[in-house]
Chains A and B, each alone.
Chain A
Amino acid sequence: DIQMTQSPSSLSASVGDRVTITCQASQDISNYLNWYQQKPGKAPKLLIYDASNLETGVPSRFSGSGSGTDFTFTISSLQPEDIATYYCQQYDNLPQFGGGTKVEIK
């Protein structure tokens, strides 16, 4: 099974800061990597698919990059409404989610 290692598990940043989350796959998954945002008590929301494609309607401050085993998710300028937990997900074979990163405002 492919393992997804997401880091950090939590972070605290100021409004306007650049925030970066990484996800590492245990084997090459090409660009079969997606990113989701989940706010408390809500269902996850797709933000980035195919490692770097922005889902329709998602603000451009969110971006993704990487291929193979190493992937990065970035919020270019953190906003108060971005407080949430973010998950990476691979779909090379069966879906597998990373452990999540809880983003808080400093």
Chain B
Amino acid sequence: EVQLVESGGGLVQPGGSLRLSCAASGFTFSSYSMNWVRQAPGKGLEWVSYISSSSSTIYYADSVKGRFTISRDNAKNSLYLQMNSLRDEDTAVYYCAREQGGVSTPFDYWGQGTLVTVSS
């Protein structure tokens, strides 16, 4: 059974840092591209970042570029999101999601999410 479990969320002050983790199991993690998607309270889904299976290709949304860093450790079946210079508007539930591959590369499995609250 495919499982994605996020951790590392919490309360942080503006300007602070936080590192999110996503532990993967039930599939060959090293074969799949992964993404982070976030959802602010009461709002819609916002894609945050992408990393290819080998970490050779990385993309970020403009809203987090230069502040967030995505990475992965295939030996540990883990995905990470280092978040620096956090702002109030980064408050959201953060989901990791697996890309299925294929034509439109949908996100076929999602974690349960971890809440990040940026507030003084």
Contacts from A to B (Cβ < 8 Å): 31-34, 36, 38, 42-46, 49-51, 55, 85, 87, 89-91, 94-100
Contacts and interface: CB of A to CB of B under 8 A. Distances in A.
Interface of B: 35, 37, 44-47, 50, 59, 61, 95, 100, 102-108, 110-113
B102 to A, nearest CB: 7
B100 A49 contact: yes
Given A46-B108, A87-B44, A100-B45, A94 B50 contact: yes
B106 A43 contact: no
A43 B45 contact: no
15 contacts: A32-B105, A43-B113, A44-B37, A44-B110, A46-B100, A49-B100, A51-B104, A55-B106, A55-B108, A85-B44, A87-B44, A91-B104, A95-B35, A97-B46, A99-B44
For B47, B106, B110, the residue with the greatest tally of chain A CB atoms inside 10 Å of its CB is B106
Contacts of A94: 47, 50, 59, 61
